[in-house]
């Protein structure tokens, strides 16, 4: 399941980052988004969502959310 299908307000553990784009992979890693880390979908927006990773909140688009498997 990807973050696009995740419930709002529930904490998940990232299982994998599924992307062939090295730049996108590096960007997600810089946010602290990698396997084994907890992530929470805080709210949904048109075309994306707000996620909480570690001590930060970030707005990501549907393409990034679709690459994060939980």
The predicted-structure confidence for 6-35, as pLDDT tens digits, reads as follows: 999 999 999 999 888 888 888 888 888 888
Instruction: Say what the pLDDT of residue 34 is.
Output: 85
User: HSE of 70 in the Cβ direction (CA atoms, 13 Å)?
Assistant: 20
pLDDT of the residue at 28: 86
* 58/31 Cα distance (integer angstroms): 8
Domain boundaries, the chain: 3-69
For residue 57, pLDDT beyond 90: yes
Q: pTM of this prediction?
A: 0.86
CATH number of this structure's domain 3-69: 2.30.30.90
Look at residue 18 in the predicted model and tell me its pLDDT.
87
Predicted local confidence at residue 24, as pLDDT: 86
């Amino acid at each position: 399941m990807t973050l696009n299908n995740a419930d709002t307000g529930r904490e998940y553990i990232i299982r994998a980052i599924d992307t062939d784009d090295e730049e996108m992979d590096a960007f997600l890693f810089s946010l602290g988004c990698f396997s084994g880390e907890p992530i929470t979908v805080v709210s949904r927006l048109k075309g994306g969502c707000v996620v909480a990773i570690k001590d930060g909140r970030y707005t990501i688009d549907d393409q990034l959310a679709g690459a994060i498997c939980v």
